Amino acid sequence: MKKWILCFAAFCSTAAMAQTSNKEGSHYQFTVIKNMDAGDVENQGRTGTCWSFSGLSFFQAELLRNGKGKDLNLSEMFVVRKMYPLKAVNYVRMHGKANFGEGGGFPDDLLCLREYGMVPQSIYDGNRVKTYNHAEMTGLLENMTKSIGASEGIVNQNWKTAFDGVLNAYMGDAPQKFDYNGKSYTPQTFAKELGLNADDYVLVSSFTHHPYYEQFVLEIPDNWNWERVYNVPLKDLTDIAENAIQTGYTIAWASDVSEKGFNFREGLAIVPATELEDMTPDERKKAFDEPVTEKTITPELRQLAFDNFETQDDHGMLIVGMAKDQTGKVFFRVKNSWGTANPGNGYFYASEPFFAYKTTCIMLNKKALPAAIAKKLGIKQ
């Protein structure tokens, strides 16, 4: 996931309203079914690190659900800093035939939590100046690893020290020990005290090219560590999402936002039955101003979009709630990481057809799974 947009950083309350319109002048009316607190809206700036912002927003929502971390902001850049050396080693071992760069996925967040722990933003901010911008740094790192990976001779293992030197120059070294609220921690002991456990979370997707109710390696470039996800039928995927929200759990959501029906500035993500490019300008505007008929999403349609590279894993977000519009259609309320410059102050509504069509993967607490589905997957809750 590597989508970025430069926005203004600000704060946003996640308190649920009984009913809300999406934007001024819009005829959409959303009645909130369920809404969870997820903390302040963050801004990933000019970086492709949405996977870290959304993953840590998910962990923070988990803490809030458990009555912890009310004033805590976890450091996204700690995770980014820990993943770069691992991605670099993988890239070199694959002779440059693997993915390297700013993109990543929820498996990276779980890997960091499991192996390295977490730290507060106040302890490590990754050398943020005004807004995050990693373009220059990643250019240097990629050129370095590309030349090493293409080497035909003996590789000088000191390249790892040089690689860390670049990271330290741009991001600073990640802390091994720190003091917070009068106590001393390592990142591992801090995560443990918070009660965050990587084994509590599962990754789920839905594609027809692998057997259902088994795990498979999700074939997307940013899955550089070849992590496996659980595969379920499409109906199960939407049932899982609805059950999670209804029972008070948030969902880390990886999706494709290159669709013309995704419009953060309008605060909506929809899949109109008529292609937007086939509409007149007035019809396109109307589609984001009042409810439209949406496509019926089938497993076959979803699979074709994935196979044609029309659905890719290009952005990570956090689903915090669920609502219905005035026609009774279900929408998910989504927290983004592009600042607050949109009608929803950093949040938007994604229709259930959009979720069914464009989801590449979700991460959630295994207790949020419907019991029957968890049993089929062999997951103990």
d(CA 253, CA 51): 9
Specify the higher pLDDT residue, 46 or 26.
Answer: 46
| Residue spans per domain, the chain | 19-377
Q: Is pLDDT of 128 > 90?
A: no
Q: State how far the Cα of 123 lies from the Cα of 363, in Å rounded to an integer.
A: 26
Mean pLDDT of the chain: 92
User: What was the pLDDT predicted at 129?
Assistant: 72
Tell me, what's the pLDDT at 171? 96
Closest residue by Cα to residue 61 from 94, 42, 39, 82: 39
Q: What global pTM score does this model have? A: 0.93
* pLDDT exceeds cutoff 50 at 18: no
In tens, the pLDDT along 174-224 reads 999 999 999 999 999 999 999 999 999 999 999 999 999 999 999 999 999
Judge whether 39 and 64 are in contact, CB under 8 Å.
yes
Rounded to whole angstroms, the Cα distance separating 245 from 380 reads: 20
Average pLDDT over residues 67-86: 95
Q: What are the CA-CA distances from residue 278 to residues 175, 272, 275 (Å)?
A: 53, 11, 5
Which of 10, 94, 61, 15 is closest to 318 using CA atoms?
61
Mean pLDDT throughout 295-321?
Answer: 96
Report, as an integer, the average pLDDT of 230-258. Answer: 98
Residue 1 pLDDT class (50, 70, 90 cuts): low
The span from the CA of 252 to the CA of 214, in Å, is 20
Question: Under a CB-based contact definition with an 8 Å cutoff, are residues 107 and 79 in contact?
Answer: no
Q: At what angle do helices 159-171 and 135-149 cross, to 10 degrees?
A: 180
So what's the pLDDT on residue 22?
53
C-alpha 220/C-alpha 309 separation (Å) is 10
User: What is the rounded average pLDDT of the residues 24-45?
Assistant: 90
Interval 260-279: pLDDT, tens: 999 999 999 999 999 999 99
**Structure-model confidence comparison of residues 154 and 105, the more confident one:** 105
CATH T-level assignment (fold) for domain 19-377: Cathepsin B; Chain A (3.90.70)
Report d(CA 24, CA 38) in Å as an integer: 24
pLDDT of residue 19: 41
Higher pLDDT: 77 or 16? It is 77
Q: Of residues 113 and 128, which shows the higher confidence score?
A: 113
Taking the C-alpha atoms of residue 358 and residue 153, their distance in angstroms, rounded to an integer, is 44
